[in-house]
Amino acid sequence: MDGNRRWAAARGLPVIAGHVQGVEAIRPVVRIAPDRGIEVLSLYVFSRENWRRPEDEVTGLFGLIDGAVRRYTDELIEEGISVRVIGRLHEAPADVQRSIREAEERTRGGKRMALNIAFNYSGRAEVIDAARALVASGIAPQEIDEALFEERLYTAGQPDPDLILRTGGEQRTSNFLLWQGAYAELVFSDTLWPDFREADLDTALGEFARRQRRYGA
User: What pLDDT, on a 0 to 100 scale, did the predictor assign at position 52?
Assistant: 95
CATH of the domain spanning 4-208:
3.40.1180.10
Taking the C-alpha atoms of residue 217 and residue 200, their distance in angstroms, rounded to an integer, is 30
pLDDT, position 213: 80
Contacts 24+ apart (CB under 8 A), 126-130: 126/86, 126/87, 126/153, 126/154, 126/178, 126/179, 127/178, 127/179, 129/88, 129/154, 130/179
Domain ranges of the chain: 4-208
The residues with which 40 forms a beta bridge, in sequence order, are 114
Catalytic residue list contains 175: no
Measured CA to CA, the distance from residue 172 to residue 56 in angstroms comes to: 27
Judge whether 129 counts as a catalytic residue. no
* pLDDT of res. 214: 80
Please identify which of the residues 2, 4, 66, 116 carries the catalytic annotation: 2
Contacts 24+ apart (CB under 8 A), 159-163: 159/39, 159/40, 160/184, 161/40, 161/42, 162/208, 162/213, 163/187, 163/204, 163/205, 163/208
pLDDT along the chain (217 residues), means of 10: 95 97 96 97 96 95 95 97 97 95 97 97 98 96 96 98 96 96 97 97 97 79
Q: 70 exposed, middle or buried (CB, 10 Å; 0-12, 13-18, 19+)?
A: middle
- Whole-structure pTM value: 0.94
Catalytic residue among 50, 129, 160, 162: 50
- The 10 Å Cβ neighbour count of residue 75 is 12
DSSP state of 160: P
Residue 195 and residue 210: Cα distance in Å, rounded? 24
> Which residues are paired to 185 by β-bridges?
163
